Amino acid sequence: MKLTRLAVAGLGLLAAFAPGCVLDAPYDKFAIVYGISDYEGGLNDLKYAAADAADMEAMLAGQGYAVWRKTDDLATLANLQADVAAVAFSAKENDLFLFFFSGHGGQKGSGQEGAGGDSQNEWIYLYNSLSDSTQTLNDDQLLSALAPIPCKRKVLILDSCDSGGFIGNGLEADGTPPSLLEGGQSLPATLGEAIALYANFDAGSADIPPWKALVISASGEREYCYESPEDLEDPPYFHGVFTYFLLEAERGGDRNRDGYVTVTEAYDYVRAKIYTEWNLRNGFAADAFSPHVSGGPVDYVLLKAR
């Protein structure tokens, strides 16, 4: 065992100094992609969430993912459970699983979340959430729903309001505030928070920790995210602003030019684009928002760079 570890370390050592040396990974990739524009009943509809899902499916399929997509009235909890069962049947531990959701999200007070959390819980809303409260999923319920999938690499991408609240960093203090408009804390306060998190580390802390899944959220914990008003954009996005730039990540997100786009690189690309193309363009108006990403020491390859 020790010899094996040493051999792995030795090979890693060589690889560390040969950044061009990337092994094509022998694993399969699975994705469940949900987008809801047309909600049941009185929930206000969205313009582009279903289109977000359709174009994400096309992009992921082109990247070699096996994709299960549901939109609008098919995006229910029962169908999600069926899709999860289908993925769980085929996927193995070393495969990669991605869940993408575009639709409504929100906060509901439901008691203290736990260490590092606040008194709100964040949710995503499936198609018939208004008539059936079991169709809204918070972080724990979403994790539970995806639990049958055996992949140890899981990525959740949420294009919904307040979705930053799904991220549960047990050790990292986020310098990007939960709401850009509310502002954040100073750097010394952030470092102090990091020390406190280290001292009080709780592996079972609130929200989705990075060792269970890496999350990219479109917005902060107390922040809306937006669809583009097509009359204002040139060219028009015809998507949620976050997903529009996420779809570009396979072409522009390879920051270190190693031929692959990781979860962190995709997040970084989308965040930078939203700042320059949306937030700054609108003068940091009331609709400014920022994506967030999970912490943790490990990152996953998400896409091949095009």
Partner 1 sequence: MTRKRAALFGWLLLLPPLAAAPLSLDPAIRGFALGLRSGGAVALTESPLFPMKAQAAWQAGAMSEFALFGFIALGISLDYHYTAASDLAGGFLYRGHGGFCPGLYLSVKAPLIRSAKRMALYGGAAVGGSANFDRYSLTELYFFYPSLFLEPFLEFHFPRLGPNTFCLSAPLRLDFRRDLERSLAIGLAVSWRYHPAGRKAQA
Residues near partner 1 (CB under 8 A): 5, 8-9, 12-19, 21-23, 25, 27, 94, 96, 152-153, 169-176, 190-191, 193-195, 197-198, 201, 210-211, 255-256, 258, 260, 262, 264-265, 267-268, 293, 295-301
Q: Return the number of other C-beta atoms located less than 10 Å from residue 46's C-beta.
A: 21
**Shortest CB 71 distance to partner 1, Å:** 28
Nearest residue (CB) to partner 1, 25 versus 85? 25
Whole-number Å distance between alpha carbons of 134 and 127: 11
Nearest residue (CB) to partner 1, 119 versus 276? 276
Residue that has been written with the tokens 């079991």 in this structure? 134
Whole-number Å distance between alpha carbons of 67 and 80: 13
**Shortest CB 58 distance to partner 1, Å:** 22
Nearest residue (CB) to partner 1, 285 versus 298? 298
- Local structure of residue 218 (DSSP, 8 states): S
**Shortest CB 304 distance to partner 1, Å:** 11
The bridge status of strand 96-102 relative to strand 153-159 is parallel
**Shortest CB 203 distance to partner 1, Å:** 8
Contact 251, 137 (CB under 8 A): no
Nearest residue (CB) to partner 1, 201 versus 284? 201
Lateral strand order in the sheet of 214-217: 65-71, 29-35, 96-102, 153-159, 214-217, 292-293
**Shortest CB 254 distance to partner 1, Å:** 11
Whole-number Å distance between alpha carbons of 252 and 306: 8
Nearest residue (CB) to partner 1, 70 versus 153? 153
